[in-house]
Structure 1
Amino acid sequence: MMKAVKLGAVGAVSALTFFHVGQGLRGDDAGGEYAYSAHMEGCLRQVRQIVPEERKAVGACECMYGEFEKHGYSLIDAFGSDFDHMSRITRTCAARNGARLPN
């Protein structure tokens, strides 16, 4: 039962994170840090459910946005053939930041 709940949470995080992918996430500073925007806050609300430590939740969202940007993904890509790759990115970034995900 717990495995099903975790799997559902991961699926929800993946889907909702995809809906929050947008432009304008990078700040203008030299370090390329992500600005806190409505998009980032939406991601953090979802990721905090499976990554309780704030620093790691921020790291997971930054990782996701960075990888999506690197591959040139946008919201529409989550509904097409790139869904599987975007889902792997989401899971990998969450796991790197302490989320315990079902196999």
Structure 2
Amino acid sequence: MGFRLPSLILSSRQILKHRSGFSRKQPDVPKGHVAVYVGEEQRKRFVVPISYLNHPSFAELLNRAEEEFGFNHPTGGLTIPCKEDAFINLTSQLHSS
């Protein structure tokens, strides 16, 4: 399975641009971070550094989110359709690298 990195970066920027209003409404999202909702049934909110969005593994999650929800998700937040444990494992790896 291949993907083009420039299109992933563009998608990340589109998501951030679309969600920037959402982040401003959430005072607990520090500058340089974005809030995401993760989970398949019950969603949990995470705040992650924007730098994660350019990592290929995280970008793949963003592509899945776009395919499943598009950019206009009814809850108003960026929702990532994966298991919470898998997301925590990925962000732990990104944090330690």
Fold in common (TM above 0.5): no
The structure richer in strand per residue is: 2
* TM-score normalized by the length of structure 2: 0.35
The structure richer in helix per residue is: 1
